[in-house]
């Protein structure tokens, strides 16, 4: 059916400054560009940049209830207006009850995209009555997810580690319909910036190196490494600076002050998502060193690596990252527990001839755009859906 339509429902608000909101906005625009009128969103909610920080718990609870109702109604609309082989692509979050009720009895094709960490409710230092409540919530959360996964024809996650978590929770047979598809990036937003500075400095014989992380939970993903590396490099005579954006501001400032490098490490805290490309353009080496427990549980922050490389920056990442990315000349792989290896990787990248660094940066951007660009990721998802008939 060459003119087959693809319907889309998301229980995540598009455009909010958290990861799901930003990633769904990227997918939404790429799907519209790829499919045109054949991409039909149903009941989509668009969020704002300040939404997550400004709403109280009870307002979030009301929003959650309304979102479940909207997902239920949108699912019924899809069942009514779609043809038999016109799939529904859906992004689901916590306790997707509305969607689960909406698909009862249907045998139409459903693809669940970008399944996240479903076990997050069981982690954290929670005690007393609250712990009992969260355990009950987690139990029903997993039961509902088990049901919707059984109803789905296909699904995807963004890291192999998340696929392994699904297999542990629901069994390997159910996960056979699931593949790994990373989140895509918008190549028009993430473009090579700041390379002119690198070229100018290298021609002048200067050796400044700027380490950076831009994204959520930086203290778990390399912010601490950046601060320690800047301290050590400056003690060794390097002109090193750091830039960290995305949260954990108070904790990171404390570490920077303790290491006496607060003058040389810019801790920006949370910033609007639209500022991230310009911030990445200011760094030479992007850091994606997820802490050991996080990397083993949900995988490396692929999205950060893709964004860094698309902007022309070099990257230091963990061994659990994408092996295809790890083979690029602009990338070095180190164990996040080995601080000295991290510093050595910084020196290795920074000491290379500037012409080599620029050529590798161009090759890396080309690879990321062709294989991790939002349109390429949409096509990969459509191919996976089609492969199941």
Whole-structure pTM value: 0.88
Q: Is the same domain home to 101 and 250?
A: no
CB 282 within 8 A of CB 312: no
Say whether pLDDT at 310 is over 60: yes
Give how far the C-alpha of residue 153 lies from the chain's centroid of Cα atoms, to the nearest Å. Answer: 24
Residue 235 lies in a domain: yes
Q: Tell whether 265 and 122 lie within a shared domain.
A: no
> Are residues 80 and 11 located together in one domain of the fold?
yes
Judgement on whether residues 203 and 163 belong to the same structural domain of the protein? no
* Residue 359 sits in the same domain as residue 383: no
**Mean pLDDT lowest for which of 205-209, 258-262, 276-280?**
205-209
**Same domain flag for 214 and 105:** no
Query: Do 359 and 380 reside in the same domain of the chain?
Result: no
Residue 270 lies in a domain: yes
Kindly report the CATH number assigned to the domain that includes residue 140.
Answer: 3.40.50.2000
Q: Which of 110-124, 148-162, 261-275, 333-347 has the lowest mean pLDDT?
A: 110-124
Closest C-alpha to 98, from 55, 59, 45: 45
177 shares its domain with 204: no
The total number of structural domains that make up the chain: 2
Taking residues 338-358, report their average pLDDT: 93
Residue-level pLDDT at 228: 96
Distance in Å from the first CA to the final CA of the chain = 11
Is the residue at 1 inside a domain?
no
Token pair in block for residue 342: 């991290």
* 189 within domain boundaries: no
In a domain, 190, yes or no: no
Same domain, 202 and 337: yes
Per the structure block, which two tokens stand in for 106?
């249907």
Both 145 and 10 in one domain: the answer is yes
Q: 8-17, 171-180, 200-209, 379-388 — which is least confidently predicted?
A: 200-209
Please give the Cα distance from 214 to 379 (Å, whole number): 27
In a domain, 78, yes or no: yes
Distance CA 137, CA 238 (A): 51
Domain of 75 in residue numbering reads as 6-184+373-387
Q: Rounded to whole angstroms, how far apart are CA atoms 225 and 218?
A: 10
Contact 331, 289 (CB under 8 A): no
- Band (pLDDT 50/70/90 cuts) for residue 137 is confident
168 within some domain: yes
pLDDT at 1: 47
Does residue 200 sit in the same domain as residue 348?
yes
Identify the residue whose tokens are 């060459």: 2
In this predicted structure, the answer to whether residue 61 has a pLDDT above a threshold of 60 is yes
Contacts of 116 (CB under 8 A, 6+ apart): 20, 93, 157, 162, 298
Does residue 9 have a pLDDT over 60? yes
- 210 with 157, same domain? no
- What's the rounded Cα separation, in Å, for the pair 331 and 346? 10
């Amino acid at each position: 059916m060459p003119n087959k339509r693809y319907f889309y429902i998301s229980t995540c608000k598009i455009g909010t400054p958290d990861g799901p909101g930003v990633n769904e906005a990227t997918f939404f625009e790429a799907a519209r560009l790829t499919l045109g009128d054949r991409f039909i969103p149903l009941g989509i909610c668009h969020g704002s940049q300040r939404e997550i920080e400004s709403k109280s718990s009870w307002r979030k609870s009301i929003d959650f209830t309304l979102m479940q109702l909207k997902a239920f109604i949108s699912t019924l609309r899809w069942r009514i207006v779609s043809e038999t082989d016109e799939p529904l692509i859906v992004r689901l979050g916590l306790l997707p009850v509305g969607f689960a009720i909406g698909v009862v009895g249907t045998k139409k094709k459903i693809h669940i995209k970008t399944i996240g960490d479903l076990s997050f409710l069981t982690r954290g230092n929670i005690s007393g009555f609250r712990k009992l409540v969260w355990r009950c919530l987690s139990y029903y959360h997993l039961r509902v997810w088990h049901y919707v996964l059984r109803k789905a024809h296909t699904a995807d996650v963004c890291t192999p580690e998340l696929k392994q978590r699904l297999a542990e929770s629901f069994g390997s047979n159910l996960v056979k319909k699931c593949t790994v598809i990373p989140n895509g990036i918008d190549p028009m937003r993430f473009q090579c910036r700041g390379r002119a500075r690198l070229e100018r400095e290298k021609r002048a014989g200067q050796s400044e190196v700027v380490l950076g992380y831009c994204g959520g939970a930086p203290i778990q993903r390399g912010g601490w490494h950046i601060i320690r590396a800047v301290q050590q490099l400056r003690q060794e005579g390097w002109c090193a600076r750091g830039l960290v954006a995305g949260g954990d501001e108070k904790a990171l400032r404390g570490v920077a002050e303790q290491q006496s490098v607060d003058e040389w490490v810019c801790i920006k805290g949370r910033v609007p998502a639209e500022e991230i490309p310009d911030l990445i353009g200011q760094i030479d080496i992007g850091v994606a060193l997820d802490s050991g427990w996080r990397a083993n549980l949900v995988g490396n922050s692929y999205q950060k690596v893709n964004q860094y490389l698309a902007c022309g920056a070099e990257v230091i990442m963990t061994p659990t990252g994408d092996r295809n990315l790890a083979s690029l000349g602009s990338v070095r792989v180190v164990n996040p527990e080995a601080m000295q290896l991290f510093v050595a990787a910084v020196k290795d990248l920074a000491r290379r001839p500037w012409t080599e660094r620029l050529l590798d940066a161009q090759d890396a951007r080309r690879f990321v755009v062709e294989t991790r660009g939002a349109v390429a990721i949409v096509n990969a998802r459509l191919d996976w859906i089609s492969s199941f008939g």
